[in-house]
Amino acid sequence: MQVVGHLINGKQSHNQNDPTQDVFNPATGAVTKQVSLASKETVEEAIAAADAAFPEWRNTPPMKRARVMFRFKALLEENAAKICALLTDEHGKVLDDAMGELTRGIEVVEFACGAPQMLKGEHSKNVGPAIDSWSEFQALGVVAGITPFNFPAMVPMWMFPMALVCGNTFVLKPSERDPSAPMFIGELLKQAGLPDGVFNIVNGDKVAVDTILEDKRVQAVSFVGSTPIAEYIYSKGTANGKRVQALGGAKNHAIIMPDADMDNAVNALMGAAYGSCGERCMAISVVVCVGDEAADELVAKLKPQVASLKIGNGTDTSNEMGPVITKMAQERIKGLITQGAEQGANLVVDGRDLVVEGHENGYFVGGTLFDNVTQDMVVYQEEIFGPVLCVVRVDTMQEAMKMIDDHEFGNGTCLFTRDGEAARYFSDNIKVGMVGINVPLPVPVAYHSFGGWKRSLFGDLSAHGPDAIRFYTRRKTVTQRWPSSGVREGKQFAFPS
């Protein structure tokens, strides 16, 4: 059986002494390959390769680094069908969704192509007699990315394109559940002309993560995943002197105002709640309806659409939703649905008993819709990460906003309304990092930065966009004097001014 190994110093390898783990096709439940789980020594080998490659890559002109990204972008587009097939085979998402993921990743590569402009510093002449001062952005060194299973192509591309064009070298630890797409993308980087050792991939588990967090050669770590792990990585990484950005979990709310375009809201929520089987950190999992009339209309319109979702193998382009990632995830989601019903929520559409013909062993959960959910219920409090949408009823917009502000997560939110005053008040005052107005998934484009508030982000800087330049570089300020020949000054003991 094929073993997915590592990409270290430009070569794919698998240490026979490292353990392996099965990789499944979630639509069938079948083992399709195995993935190598890197030992401490294997991870250290990758870090050493990145460390050795750093001096030359750092001194490569930014324009030449950008040209690698231009070629990489073209290769991603040429190989899009193969990448999407790998995503669907190992994650389960439908092919259209896989293409959407890849496209958003490519947009960050496009943004990275403009690095020469973004890396320009600032210069001031004659800040004092014959004294010039300037600032510049210098690469950190070896940096690392630890990425989740739900976006095996896009999330790594939130990180390494910007890190590389800034002059750093990179070690990627992708999810061991769907490792093939990142490995193939790493090969495309090599084809694009990236020197060996500049980009490395180690597949693995907690051993690999802890090695990255503890190794003094790693200067910065970027992470996307659940909040408990994000907090662990931030705490351990910063304790070891590293710069860390750790994007955590979410419980994203949508508010439906009484004046909302209900048909538009329903169509938007179907994609936002059930796209990618709800396995998105930006998925809408709670709808807060202002007034019973709005709630009744919304639930009545949602119910038949949720019940008729086309669910099956993601390779069938007629399907709207595929399986969840693992058997364990399937059982957990079904258990949470059961808890929601037991705690008194109205189970309008129940997806627990879905069986897809011909894929009886696949990890499928049907679209699920709850009404009359309250804040004390588990289905409201936890990030379900599955195709479950909860409807909450309140009397006022202020009550809805307080509910959002009181939640521990602050990743994304949206408001459906025709009222400009309400929209402006909401966007100005809600305590959430990414806000949509009649836009259910307000994921920033590549030249803006992605990041939540509260326990959805640990660290000061968000992913991609302008924050990426700040995260992957250090500012250095140089003050320089070349006095005229023969001019000498006496001693000065006062602070210079």
CATH, residue 376: 3.40.309.10
**Surface-to-core class of residue 457, CB atoms within 10 Å of its CB (0-12 exposed, 13-18 middle, 19+ buried):** buried
281 is catalytic: yes
> Do 146 and 209 share a domain, yes or no?
yes
Structure token pair of residue 281: 């950190």
Give the amino acid at 150.
N
- What distance, in Å, lies between the first and last C-alpha atoms of the chain? 70
325 inside domain: yes
How far, rounded to the nearest angstrom, does the alpha carbon of residue 23 sit from its chain's CA centroid?
21
**Surface-to-core class of residue 140, CB atoms within 10 Å of its CB (0-12 exposed, 13-18 middle, 19+ buried):** buried
Give the amino acid at 90.
E
Structure token pair of residue 328: 């364990």
Which pLDDT score, from 0 to 100, does residue 200 have?
Answer: 98
What burial letters (b/e) apply to 373-388, b meaning 16+ CB within 10 Å? beeebebbeebbbbbb
> Do 413 and 294 share a domain, yes or no?
yes
> Do 311 and 202 share a domain, yes or no?
no
What is the distance between the alpha carbons of residues 79 and 88, in angstroms, rounded to a whole number? 15
Which pLDDT score, from 0 to 100, does residue 76 have?
Answer: 98
> Do 65 and 97 share a domain, yes or no?
yes
335: number of Cβ within 10 Å: 12
- Integer-rounded Cα Rg, in Å, for the chain is 25
475: number of Cβ within 10 Å: 11
> Do 381 and 289 share a domain, yes or no?
yes
Which pLDDT score, from 0 to 100, does residue 486 have?
Answer: 65
Judged against a pLDDT cut of 80, whether residue 497 lies above it is answered with no
CA distances from 196 to 4, 44, 109, 180, 190 (A): 19, 16, 19, 20, 7
Kind of pairing between the strands at 131-139 and 473-481: antiparallel
pLDDT in tens, 6-31: 999 999 988 888 999 999 999 999 99
Band (pLDDT 50/70/90 cuts) for residue 129 is confident
Of all residues in the chain, the percent with pLDDT exceeding 90 is 91
Kind of pairing between the strands at 368-371 and 388-394: parallel
What is the distance between the alpha carbons of residues 247 and 224, in angstroms, rounded to a whole number? 5
The residue-averaged pLDDT of 218-240 equals 96
What is the distance between the alpha carbons of residues 460 and 292, in angstroms, rounded to a whole number? 40
Judged against a pLDDT cut of 90, whether residue 485 lies above it is answered with no
> Do 432 and 366 share a domain, yes or no?
yes
Judged against a pLDDT cut of 70, whether residue 268 lies above it is answered with yes
Judged against a pLDDT cut of 70, whether residue 101 lies above it is answered with yes
> Do 309 and 327 share a domain, yes or no?
yes
Contact in structure between 251 and 383 (CB atoms under 8 Å): yes
Which pLDDT score, from 0 to 100, does residue 487 have?
Answer: 64
Poorest-pLDDT segment among 49-58, 138-147, 404-413: 404-413
363 inside domain: yes
Of all residues in the chain, the percent with pLDDT exceeding 70 is 99
> Do 291 and 230 share a domain, yes or no?
no
Judged against a pLDDT cut of 90, whether residue 151 lies above it is answered with yes
Band (pLDDT 50/70/90 cuts) for residue 408 is very high
447 inside domain: no
Which pLDDT score, from 0 to 100, does residue 284 have?
Answer: 96
The residue-averaged pLDDT of 181-210 equals 97
Helix (H, G, I), strand (E, B) or coil at 438: coil
The residue-averaged pLDDT of 242-269 equals 96
Catalytic residue among 277, 281, 390, 414: 281
Higher pLDDT, 491 or 99: 99
Poorest-pLDDT segment among 58-62, 198-202, 315-319, 480-484: 480-484
Alpha helices in 147-288 (DSSP H): 154-165, 180-191, 206-214, 227-239, 262-274
pLDDT in tens, 423-460: 999 999 999 999 999 999 999 999 899 899 999 999 99
Which pLDDT score, from 0 to 100, does residue 345 have?
Answer: 97
171 inside domain: yes
> Do 230 and 120 share a domain, yes or no?
yes
487 inside domain: no
Which pLDDT score, from 0 to 100, does residue 494 have?
Answer: 73
Poorest-pLDDT segment among 123-127, 399-403, 426-430: 123-127
What is the distance between the alpha carbons of residues 13 and 1, in angstroms, rounded to a whole number? 15
What is the distance between the alpha carbons of residues 79 and 109, in angstroms, rounded to a whole number? 15
Contact in structure between 245 and 281 (CB atoms under 8 Å): no
> Do 143 and 289 share a domain, yes or no?
no
Which pLDDT score, from 0 to 100, does residue 339 have?
Answer: 97
Poorest-pLDDT segment among 32-41, 120-129, 202-211, 357-366: 120-129
Judged against a pLDDT cut of 90, whether residue 179 lies above it is answered with yes
Residue 192 sits in which domain range? 3-248+456-478
Structure token pair of residue 154: 């896009």
Domain final residue, candidates 388, 408, 437: 437
What is the distance between the alpha carbons of residues 156 and 383, in angstroms, rounded to a whole number? 22
Judged against a pLDDT cut of 90, whether residue 491 lies above it is answered with no
444 inside domain: no
Question: Closest Cα partner for 163 from 196, 119, 203?
Answer: 119
496 inside domain: no
> Do 152 and 193 share a domain, yes or no?
yes
Q: How are strands ordered across the β-sheet holding 20-25?
A: 3-4, 30-36, 20-25
Alpha helices in 308-377 (DSSP H): 327-342
485 inside domain: no
pLDDT in tens, 80-93: 999 999 999 999 99
Residue for token pair 């402009």: 117
Number of structural domains the chain divides into: 2
Question: Closest Cα partner for 415 from 236, 273, 255?
Answer: 255
The chain-wide mean pLDDT, for the chain, equals 95
For residue 463, the cross-strand partners are 450
Kind of pairing between the strands at 346-349 and 453-454: unpaired
> Do 271 and 149 share a domain, yes or no?
no
SS3 annotation, 156-195: HHHHHHHHHHCCCEEEEECCCCCCHHHHHHHHHHHHCCCC
Contact in structure between 111 and 464 (CB atoms under 8 Å): yes
Which pLDDT score, from 0 to 100, does residue 130 have?
Answer: 85
Which pLDDT score, from 0 to 100, does residue 483 have?
Answer: 79
CATH number of the domain within which 175 lies: 3.40.605.10
